């Protein structure tokens, strides 16, 4: 049974092109403040497009304790630029973690960042921390769904949520990835 840590555990993982590490207050950037202005990103996150102030971002970073919640940035090795984040909330009694991924820098999307980060992130939470499942919510029709299913994610149930843009309600898929399904998918790679 996975045990909750008593002290903060900062994360640092490496992939070929990225460093995945706990985000610190000093990592707030002007670029990040623009991420939610992008209509495509806002739509898929069901958020109203808007800029965030640096103070707001620092406040958001400060809500993560690196015990029950982890904010893990995706930093380009070549440039040091922060291009995206994983916000992860651990439910220790249930041995699960809820994961949200955003590649905020639009020129860094569809370059394989999330694909490269995925094995490192789930291996850390499933195998290193010993958690038994991951959860995520995805808006129906999201282009990531086929890829998620290939990695072992399954739809558990669906719900409707008011649309942030004021249109028709948005269908939310509640997805689950068990550790067994993850291990099968991971073994199928050369990871």
Ligand X SMILES: CC(C)(COP(=O)(O)OP(=O)(O)OC[C@H]1O[C@@H](n2cnc3c(N)ncnc32)[C@H](O)[C@@H]1OP(=O)(O)O)[C@@H](O)C(=O)NCCC(=O)NCCS
Residues engaged in binding ligand X (CB under 6 A): 41, 44-45, 101-103, 109-115, 138, 142-144, 146-147
- We find the least distance from the C-beta atom of residue 39 to ligand X, in angstroms, to be 10
Using a CB cutoff of 8 Å and minimum separation of 24, what contacts does 100-107 make? 100/136, 102/35, 102/41, 102/45, 103/74, 104/31, 104/32, 104/34, 104/35, 104/38, 104/41, 105/31, 105/35, 105/81, 106/38, 106/40, 106/41
- We find the least distance from the C-beta atom of residue 112 to ligand X, in angstroms, to be 3
From the list 120, 117, 92, 91, the residue with the least C-alpha distance to 103 is 117
- We find the least distance from the C-beta atom of residue 103 to ligand X, in angstroms, to be 4
**DSSP codes of every residue in 53-94:** -HHHHHHHHHT--SSSEEEEEEEETTT--EEEEEEEEEETTT
In the bound state with ligand X, the residue whose beta carbon lies nearer, of 39 and 169, is 39
In the bound state with ligand X, the residue whose beta carbon lies nearer, of 113 and 121, is 113
From the list 113, 152, 130, the residue with the least C-alpha distance to 20 is 113
Residue nearest to ligand X (CB): 147
- We find the least distance from the C-beta atom of residue 120 to ligand X, in angstroms, to be 13
According to DSSP, residue 95 is labeled T
In the bound state with ligand X, the residue whose beta carbon lies nearer, of 60 and 92, is 60
In the bound state with ligand X, the residue whose beta carbon lies nearer, of 8 and 47, is 47
In the bound state with ligand X, the residue whose beta carbon lies nearer, of 45 and 52, is 45
- We find the least distance from the C-beta atom of residue 130 to ligand X, in angstroms, to be 25
């Amino acid at each position: 049974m996975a045990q909750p840590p008593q002290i903060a555990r900062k994360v640092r993982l490496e992939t070929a092109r990225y460093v995945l590490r706990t985000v610190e207050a000093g990592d707030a950037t002007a670029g990040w403040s623009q991420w939610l202005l992008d209509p495509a990103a806002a739509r898929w996150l069901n958020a109203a497009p808007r800029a965030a102030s640096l103070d707001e971002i620092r406040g958001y970073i400060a809500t993560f304790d690196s015990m029950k919640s982890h904010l893990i940035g995706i930093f380009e090795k070549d440039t040091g630029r922060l291009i995206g984040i994983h916000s992860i909330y651990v439910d220790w009694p249930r041995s699960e973690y809820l994961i949200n991924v955003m590649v905020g820098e639009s020129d860094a999307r569809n370059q394989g960042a999330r694909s490269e980060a995925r094995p490192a992130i789930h291996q850390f939470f499933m195998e290193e921390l010993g958690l038994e499942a991951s959860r995520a919510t995805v808006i129906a029709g999201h282009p990531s769904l086929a890829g998620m299913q290939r990695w072992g994610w399954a739809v558990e149930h669906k719900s409707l949520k008011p649309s942030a843009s004021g249109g028709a309600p948005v269908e939310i898929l509640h997805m689950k990835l068990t550790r067994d399904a993850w291990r099968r998918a991971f073994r199928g790679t050369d990871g």
